[in-house]
Amino acid sequence: MERDLPVVPSLLLLLLLLHFAVDCNGSKVGVCYGRNADDLPTPDKVAQLVQLHSIKYVRIYDSNIQVIKAFANTGVELMVGVPNSDLLPFSQYQSNVDTWLKNSILPYYPATMITYITVGAEVTETRDNVSALVVPAMVNVLAALKKAGLHKRIKVSSTHSLGILSRSFPPSAGAFDSKYAYFLKPMLEFLVENQSPFMVDLYPYYAYRDSPSNVSLDYALFSPSASDVIDPNTGLVYTNMFDAQLDSIFFALMALNFRTLKIMVTESGWPNKGAAKETAATPDDAQTYNTNLIRHVINDAGTPAKPGEEIDVYIFSLFNENRKPGLESERNWGLFYPDQTSVYSLDWTGRGNVDIVTGANITSSNGTWCVASSNASDADLQNALNWACGSGNVDCSAIQPSQPCYQPDTLASHASYAFNGYYQQNGATDVACNFGGTGLKTTKDPIKWAPEILLLRLRHQMQSIPPHG
């Protein structure tokens, strides 16, 4: 099972190994940086705050130059937006878009890693009927990117609310509202042709707030104590509202024969404060929802209709925004106060005490983990690995070739992934880490010793490299 990697410079090899171990899971979690407030810190300070919390993906709602410049050389990937107010000029004349790209994007790229441009935001929710302008504007933005040779690096899409559906329950009955067909079908064709995702904003909070008799708080918050909801058409079992909403979009796309289109959740979150009747708008519930959402996404659990599917999600929002109209909750979705202190703590890795060597995204409830014993023979390890991934019901798809956790490609690493998965799923008992004597229970946090293991791996690889000359 042990294989030598191609000969590459040692530093590069180490960096590659670190990348594979730390960035094991494919799904991404970002944050929305709304600025509808008059008390926010400067963009430079916001960029520092984002880096401090190791946030790698940020969505903004326009192309503010000061914000774009602030994220230069930070390693943060930025999603910029074309506001609804700009859809008319963007759809009318290519020259308008060319000028915008030349002035607002190109001078700061690639120092600022712009990866997406959203053209319009939730256009079906606007009072003015601007939805007909979206696709022409998207076409012009793509044309401008092509002229600059960036159309493969910067993807173009548009964001939508769940209101674009006429039905969302049960999920298998999800269907787009026929009144939007005139712009929706050409948009979906555009997205498929250019390998761009369908972007949607999902809010289980509103489903609960507006219909508490039909949606339980536990179901909206990903609580393990929530009662399951079974789709009568498919038999699929839903344990949370987020998955149900997401699958309603998937089934709506499938009904129009767009089943391969990737879905990206460009907003989801929970308010930390609300009006008297908004009893669930609390810091505790906001922390619970966002923590569980991040774990759900990072774990690549997918949804009942698409298990194991990678889902990129942007948490709304970075700050409370005091100028937003509406109920009290509308101004209090932030993770941070304007003074940059946290409204509540949030683990952005979604791992807790995750084993980043094996990639097993499981929080250790008692500070223990199960890994492969260094004294076990390869034959015994392979037998135990086969059992864990078979009869043990551990999902081992992530350690298959070309999958996110395949590297490091060693029997010990793959076995540790499976062992820890089985161990945590089965109560973290001594028996659950036996594996015929090939499992080893440890209280040493794998996060802390992962670099040590990788260095040992590096030394092993380098020993096999013949001397020059």
Q: Which residues pair with 116 in a beta bridge?
A: 79, 155
**Amino acid identity, position 161:** S
Strand pairing category for 439-442 and 369-372: antiparallel
Apex 108 CA angle, 11 and 94, nearest 5: 130
Specify the 3-state DSSP secondary structure of 30. strand
Query: Given 3-state DSSP classes, what are the helix, strand and coil percentages for the chain, each rounded to the nearest 5?
Result: 40, 15, 45
Residue carrying structure tokens 């700009």: 86
Residues 6+ positions from 384 with CB-CB distance below 8 Å: 376, 415, 418, 419, 435, 436, 438, 439
How many Å apart are CA 254 and CA 244, to the nearest integer? 15
Among 2, 77, 122, 189, the active-site one is 122
Q: Which residues pair with 73 in a beta bridge?
A: none
Gyration radius (Cα) of the chain, Å: 24
Specify burial of residue 149 (Cβ count, 10 A radius: 0-12, 13-18, 19+). Answer: exposed
Closest by CA to 114, choosing from 143, 155, 149, is: 155
Among 2, 77, 193, 267, the active-site one is 267
How many Å apart are CA 302 and CA 347, to the nearest integer? 20
Please indicate whether residue 122 is annotated as part of the active site. Answer: yes
CB neighbours of residue 87 within 10 Å: 25
Specify burial of residue 128 (Cβ count, 10 A radius: 0-12, 13-18, 19+). Answer: exposed
Residues 6+ positions from 435 with CB-CB distance below 8 Å: 384, 387, 388, 419
Q: What is the DSSP letter of 5?
A: P
Residue carrying structure tokens 């430079």: 44
How many Å apart are CA 271 and CA 287, to the nearest integer? 9
Please indicate whether residue 310 is annotated as part of the active site. Answer: no
Q: In this structure, are residues 420 and 370 in contact, taking their beta carbons and an 8 Å threshold?
A: yes
**Amino acid identity, position 367:** G
Name the residues annotated as catalytic: 122, 267
